[in-house]
Structure 1
């Protein structure tokens, strides 16, 4: 049967009554698929005359059918969850995904842009943490590129992000409007070039000013590095130094989890004594005790938007770089609910 041009992986999944991921697993001959499911999917493939896009694409264009996602830390829950969403989105269009970890290294970020995977990938999704816009423009090659995160993109490159300033403002106002009077920010960094921290601190300060709330540099609690362990140590140090606060906006959910442990260690009850807000809404935020109030970026929309822009560039779209914002929600759980 001749394959109609419109037949897609989604069409096969719908006919077989399975997920897109299952169809992808059958096409790629993964072993861990039930024989009955494999047979049902294969029957749908045969009936529709489906040929994987990746095969047709290689034959017609010489493309590899592979994209790369370069991220700072695969062990960080947010990036692990984001990578899973990117993988699912790529599967839906018959692309394979290559994960590259840069660990925030200047050399690794440069290497990603210089094209150390040149010839292996058709497009790159990249979340830098060190390189600025000028360096990105200098080191990028010809591979289609979409940037994620808070570092400003050069005018030639597409960029997708959440409005961190607005989200931090919403988190801070939530604490202030619930009656908190001394709201601290956990995550202040000595590295002023850390764009994410700078934007979130800006939103925090904006909310304090708007509300007419108490402001003091002592309420900017520094962390030597990001993560739960550093957050726990930073909050204990602040409390032992006499810093008083009844609300805490944290850089991310891991920081919030570390902060909640520190508060418990020092005899503070969440939320009665201190309300805590995290950021990212990672899966474990639902399982802390109490549950963690957090900023939830629309990760699904972020991935869909990113992949749409990348596919358009891989298909030859030209023009200046595009900048798109995706939404967020404040998810209220027990860590701020009195």
Structure 2
């Protein structure tokens, strides 16, 4: 069978080509029943839109890109899944671009419009600042993720890392913990995300009138669970004495829990542990992990809404949007009464 056309889908679904076109383009004034009917035919026939033709006809491809540092990090894998679902619900196709946190990868991602591939890009930069990327993006609409200095004409969507970290510390203080460590930032210099989370950690200590002790902050040389396990294990062997631990991310928390278990330490009895990102495996650990949970659906929806507005020509200054978060309480740092979510 040759290339499947709109006419093929229309005949299969028993509707007009205009109806099929409206569904494929994500036109909102289509009933749910009709959208489902057409989508079944699209799936059955394996129809794929002709991006080049649509670009010529409308100047757009209805394709967006989500650019992020590393798909091996569970947070970004799960966030990419959320973006894919939200894009599909809004009638867009999504191109995933792993930048490896490199300068070249990030610049390549925001130049996709010049090649006629995507209409706009959501990017979580790591190597470049948003201002540097903004200068290089040409006419490509871009929305940035992550707390940073927002370029004048671009939009940025984030959670409040500082506030979330302070709230996590407050939770540990409510458990009666007073020697609270921080695990998982970078040995060779802080990333922007780590800097904000460390700032919130210090704010939380200050709010509880606890002193900041740099010796309780344990960096890792490699940003994965094994790197955290090695770093935290060495610190424990060297005499680190803490009763609670805020981790930069859930991978650091996984490493910390393993290092503790190998030394016959228990969470939360000996050290209450809080992670960050609430990745899927967090609730399956033993003990289940208490973790800061960003509202990833709200993050994706806010980013795509602002990107769509820019694609449609919205002028003006950039906007900073902060979406919500919550502390998902598990067994590694339960509520004061011992309960969990």
Same fold, TM-score > 0.5, yes or no: yes
Name the counterpart of 2:195. Answer: 198
* Correspondence 1:15-94 to 2 at 5 A: 15=33, 24=39, 26-27=41-42, 29=44, 58=55, 60-94=57-91
2:234 counterpart of 1:219: no
Name the counterpart of 1:293. Answer: 290
> Counterparts of 2:211 and 2:41 in 1: how far apart (Å)?
59
RMSD, aligned α-carbons:
2.7
> Counterparts of 1:152 and 1:311 in 2: how far apart (Å)?
22
Segments of structure 1 that go 5 or more residues without pairing to the other structure are: 32-37, 39-51
Contact 1:13–1:23, Cα closer than 8 Å, also in 2 = no
SS of match in other structure, 1:147: strand
Contact 1:70–1:126, Cα closer than 8 Å, also in 2 = yes
Name the counterpart of 2:32. Answer: 14
> Counterparts of 1:189 and 1:138 in 2: how far apart (Å)?
28
Change (3 A) 1:215 1:304: same
Name the counterpart of 1:271. Answer: 268
What is the TM-score normalised by the length of structure 2? 0.85
What is the TM-score normalised by the length of structure 1? 0.85
> Counterparts of 1:89 and 1:82 in 2: how far apart (Å)?
11
More off after superposition, 218-227 vs 194-203 = 218-227
Residue 97 of structure 1: how far off its partner (Å): 1.1
> Counterparts of 1:252 and 1:23 in 2: how far apart (Å)?
42
List per-residue Cα deviations over 1:130-180 (Å, max 9, x = no partner).
Answer: 112431232222111101113322121110000000000011111111101
Name the counterpart of 1:259. Answer: 256
List per-residue Cα deviations over 1:270-322 (Å, max 9, x = no partner).
Answer: 11000000111111011001110010100000001011111111111111111
Residue 129 of structure 1: how far off its partner (Å): 0.7
More off after superposition, 4-13 vs 292-301 = 4-13
Change (3 A) 1:321 1:266: same
Residue 220 of structure 1: how far off its partner (Å): 0.5
> Counterparts of 1:169 and 1:69 in 2: how far apart (Å)?
29
Give the aligned length.
316
List per-residue Cα deviations over 1:217-267 (Å, max 9, x = no partner).
Answer: 110101112111111111101101111111000011111111101110111
> Counterparts of 1:205 and 1:256 in 2: how far apart (Å)?
19
Name the counterpart of 1:230. Answer: 227
Change (3 A) 1:55 1:115: closer
> Counterparts of 2:279 and 2:259 in 1: how far apart (Å)?
20
> Counterparts of 2:264 and 2:104 in 1: how far apart (Å)?
44
SS of match in other structure, 2:97: strand
> Counterparts of 1:248 and 1:117 in 2: how far apart (Å)?
46
SS of match in other structure, 1:188: strand
> Counterparts of 1:61 and 1:69 in 2: how far apart (Å)?
22
**2:135 pairs with 130, 134, 138, which one?**
138
Change (3 A) 1:333 1:11: farther
SS of match in other structure, 1:306: helix
> Counterparts of 2:325 and 2:211 in 1: how far apart (Å)?
26
SS of match in other structure, 2:156: strand
Residue 16 of structure 1: how far off its partner (Å): 6.0
Name the counterpart of 2:11. Answer: none
> Counterparts of 1:63 and 1:116 in 2: how far apart (Å)?
9
Name the counterpart of 2:320. Answer: 323
